[in-house]
Structure 1
Amino acid sequence: MDIYLVGGAVRDKLLGRPVTDHDHVVVGATPDDLLALGYRPVGKDFPVFLHPHTGEEHALARTERKTGRGYHGFLFQADPTITLEQDLARRDLTINAIAQDEHGALTDPYQGMRDIEARVLRHVSPAFVEDPVRVLRVARFAARFAPLGFTVADETMALMQQMVRDGEVDHLVPERVWAETRKALGEAQPSAFVRVLRECGALAVLFPELDALYGVPQRAEFHPEVDTGVHLEMVLDAAARIAPGNDLVGFCALLHDLGKALTPADELPHHAGHEHRGFAPLRALVERLKVPVEYAALAEQVCREHLNAHRAFELKPATVLKLFAGLDALRRPERLDVFLAACEADKRGRLGHENDAYPQADYLRQARASAAAVSATTFVTQGLSGPAIGKAMEAARIEAIAALKTEHT
């Protein structure tokens, strides 16, 4: 029985990146062999075990054969005759198909180290086309490694385009699309995820609401990049810089301008009311992908209120308080932080404006703090009760925000 470190752990070591997960493949063993050594079984579709001491995953070497559409349509074979090279052959990208033995020696039958050096995301074998999830994974890896100069190999992109034409991507289940998207939005350059999906044609299939933004013009004096799709990409990357690893901020950034694709042609390049037009496509997307409630709710608030955030200094104190109420920000200040990060990304996601200041964020945080400092105790002491307390608190909060606004003007 031989055990090898495989996948992301080996890849990230070679790239000099932090290693978080250690996955292993076991060659020349049976499930009974591992059970006898105290390994705990966890795999349902194929034999995966947890090491009795480290808890790290150990999977028996296996092969897989396509038996149907989608990513569930596979037949797995795991037995002691499967070689390390056979196991590595079923992996998606060459950079993920490198193994390391206990002495540190590397096995690299598919030239993954060459592609790491060349900064290329390349498929291992023609079997790549059998699993549509790989389209999403390649796009996600592009989002992670684009800052290092990685690009998708031409032949891999051609295979992905073929998969889209063959309808394989149509069979992806919502949960898997969401899981990969969420991970991509937490990467360093999420725009690469969108670009790769668009280039292979999968964006129009999986995210038609996003694909529709490309080619839609905006006013050049406000958006020098003009194209709304390009603006989306810039906002995503700005969000990744402002809130690194925060996929919730990334998701809000992703959906903030969907309404611009629905602006009547005779109104272009103006987009008056685009925030309200964005509700329908936003709700359609989150329902289709079964997006978690908190993500859907905050994304809709950013869609609805991002222009108000930009105009924060011009808003009436009562409007500011209403904004906080919609976010439930008085009770949950972290929601305001997510909202403001996404709005700042929108403001900075424009050509030539990447480093603009966003003083609106500090002002709105201070306004929230001032409003939250108003306590019911004061009005109970004055003898008020019931609804009268709520009305008095609202008036006091508006007054507190007004006082702060005076300081900022």
Structure 2
Amino acid sequence: MQIYKVGGAVRDRLLGKPVTDIDWVVVGATAEEMLAKGFRPVGADFPVFLHPKSGEEYALARTERKSGRGYGGFTFHASPEVTLEEDLIRRDLTINAMAEDDQQNITDPYHGQRDLEARLLRHVSSAFAEDPLRVLRVARFAARYAALGFTVAPETIELMRQLSESGELQALTAERSWKEISRALLEDQPQVFIEVLRECGALRILMPEVEALFGVPQPEAHHPEIDTGVHTLSVLEQSALHRQPLTVRWACLLHDLGKGLTPEEEWPRHIAHENKGLKLIKAVNERFKAPKDCQELALLVGQYHTHGHRALELKPSTLLELLQSFDVYRRPQRFEEFIAACEMDARGRKGLEQRSYPQADYLRGAATAARSVAVQPLLEKGFKGPELGEAIKRERLKALKVYKEAASA
């Protein structure tokens, strides 16, 4: 029995990056031997075991062959005869197909170290094309390591393009797709994820609503970058630079989908794109079964982001409607995330990345003013039921009028 560290732990150590999760592969052992040593089996599909003390995953060396469509369409074979090289060749990228023994000796049959030095994300073998999830994985790795200068090898892009055209991407489950998408959006350069998907033709299959934004112009006075797709990537980039949570990053990606529906004769204006885009945002949300908080914020940002930009001009009654829409009284954090998404949208414009965004503090102040209205005095006056709701609304409107006057003074 021989045990090796494999995959990301080896890759990241060689890159000088912190190693968090460690995967192990066991060569020359049987499941019975693992059980006899106290390892606990995980699931029924894979020969994977948990270490009796550390709880880390140890997988028996295995081969695999394609037996159906999609991510799960594989038959695995694990036996003591499977070599380390045979196990490594089934992996996605050369930089993930290295192993390390307990003396830190590297086994690198597919030149992962060479590709680390060349800053290339390259597939290990043609078997790469058997798993459609790898299109998303490679794009995610490109986003993770873009800052180190990594790019995807042209031959790997070509394989990804073939996968995109094969129809295999449609076989991916929403859950598996969302796991890769959400992880990619939380990388340091999530815009690279979208760029790579677009380059290999996968964005057109997975998110045609986002693909449709490229080549659509916007008024240069407001958008020096002009192209709506380029703007979307810039907004996503800003959301990462400002360490925004996943909810905000998802909303940033989808906020302008309505502009993809504008007839060409109306370009570069996009009248009512906010409401037009809601059905598209809803479709993307449902396609990937995004978490509820991501879905809700994306729809609200899509509908109201231009309200955020015009916050200082809004009438008190419109401001109150905006606050009510977000339920700022019970969901203050969601309104904070809306403000963040609006600020990222404002900064995601060529040459305007450092611009100030006074609307943020103004909106926060408005929310504070509306929340400051006390309910108890109205109860003491005898208001109840629907009348109480109307009375609260009137008082909040008064508070917002006072706030706006003070802010304008």
**TM-score past 0.5 threshold:** yes
Q: Shift of the alpha carbon at 1:98?
A: 1.6
| Residue 386 (structure 2) aligns with | 387
| Residue 81 (structure 1) aligns with | 81
Runs of 4+ residues over 4 Å off in structure 1: none
**Correspondences of 1:63-78 after superposition (within 5 Å):** 63-78=63-78
Q: Which amino acid aligns with 1:219?
A: P
Of stretches 233-242 and 364-373 in structure 1, the one that deviates more from structure 2 is 364-373
Contact conserved, 1:27 with 1:84, CA < 8 A, in 2? yes
Alpha-carbon displacement from aligned partner over 1:3-50 (angstroms, at most 9, x marks no partner): 211111222222222222111111111111111122111133111111
Q: Which amino acid aligns with 1:346?
A: D
Query: 1:377, 1:34 → 2: CA distance?
Result: 67
Q: Which amino acid aligns with 2:22?
A: H
Q: Which amino acid aligns with 1:375?
A: A
Alpha-carbon displacement from aligned partner over 1:359-378 (angstroms, at most 9, x marks no partner): 21122122212222323223
Q: Which amino acid aligns with 1:67?
A: S
Q: Which amino acid aligns with 2:328?
A: A
Of stretches 202-211 and 323-332 in structure 1, the one that deviates more from structure 2 is 323-332
| Residue 100 (structure 1) aligns with | 100
Of stretches 1-10 and 258-267 in structure 1, the one that deviates more from structure 2 is 1-10
| Residue 61 (structure 2) aligns with | 61
Contact conserved, 1:69 with 1:171, CA < 8 A, in 2? yes
Contact conserved, 2:256 with 2:302, CA < 8 A, in 1? yes
1:143 aligns with 2:143: yes
**Correspondences of 1:181-330 after superposition (within 5 Å):** 181-244=181-244, 246-330=245-329
Task: Give the 3-state SS of the residue equivalent to 2:383 in structure 1.
Answer: coil
Contact conserved, 2:246 with 2:294, CA < 8 A, in 1? no
Query: 1:181, 1:267 → 2: CA distance?
Result: 33
Q: Which amino acid aligns with 1:197?
A: L
| Residue 349 (structure 1) aligns with | 348
Contact conserved, 2:7 with 2:23, CA < 8 A, in 1? yes
| Residue 406 (structure 1) aligns with | 405
| Residue 41 (structure 2) aligns with | 41
Task: Give the 3-state SS of the residue equivalent to 2:270 in structure 1.
Answer: coil
Query: 2:32, 2:330 → 1: CA distance?
Result: 54
Q: Shift of the alpha carbon at 1:159?
A: 0.9
Of stretches 284-293 and 174-183 in structure 1, the one that deviates more from structure 2 is 284-293
Q: Shift of the alpha carbon at 1:166?
A: 2.4
Of stretches 319-328 and 375-384 in structure 1, the one that deviates more from structure 2 is 375-384
| Residue 20 (structure 2) aligns with | 20
Q: Which amino acid aligns with 1:321?
A: L
Query: 1:394, 1:350 → 2: CA distance?
Result: 37
| Residue 365 (structure 2) aligns with | 366
| Residue 335 (structure 2) aligns with | 336
Q: Which amino acid aligns with 2:392?
A: M
Alpha-carbon displacement from aligned partner over 1:238-265 (angstroms, at most 9, x marks no partner): 1111234x22111101110001011111
Contact conserved, 1:243 with 1:249, CA < 8 A, in 2? no
Query: 1:369, 1:148 → 2: CA distance?
Result: 43
TM-score after normalising by structure 2:
0.96
Contact conserved, 2:63 with 2:86, CA < 8 A, in 1? yes
- Between the two proteins, the alignment pairs up a number of residues equal to 408
**Closer/same/farther in 2, CA of residues 13 and 403 from structure 1, 3 Å limit:** farther
Contact conserved, 2:309 with 2:342, CA < 8 A, in 1? yes
Contact conserved, 2:62 with 2:76, CA < 8 A, in 1? yes
Q: Shift of the alpha carbon at 1:326?
A: 1.5
Q: Shift of the alpha carbon at 1:319?
A: 1.7
Q: Shift of the alpha carbon at 1:268?
A: 0.5
Q: Which amino acid aligns with 1:227?
A: D
Q: Which amino acid aligns with 1:211?
A: E
Task: Give the 3-state SS of the residue equivalent to 2:218 in structure 1.
Answer: coil
Taking every aligned residue pair, what percent have the same amino acid on both sides?
A: 56
Q: Shift of the alpha carbon at 1:217?
A: 0.8
Alpha-carbon displacement from aligned partner over 1:91-119 (angstroms, at most 9, x marks no partner): 10111112222222222221112212221
Of stretches 260-269 and 31-40 in structure 1, the one that deviates more from structure 2 is 31-40
TM-score after normalising by structure 1:
0.96
Structure 2: unaligned runs, 5 residues or longer? none
Question: Over aligned residues, Cα RMSD in angstroms?
Answer: 1.5
Query: 1:381, 1:367 → 2: CA distance?
Result: 26
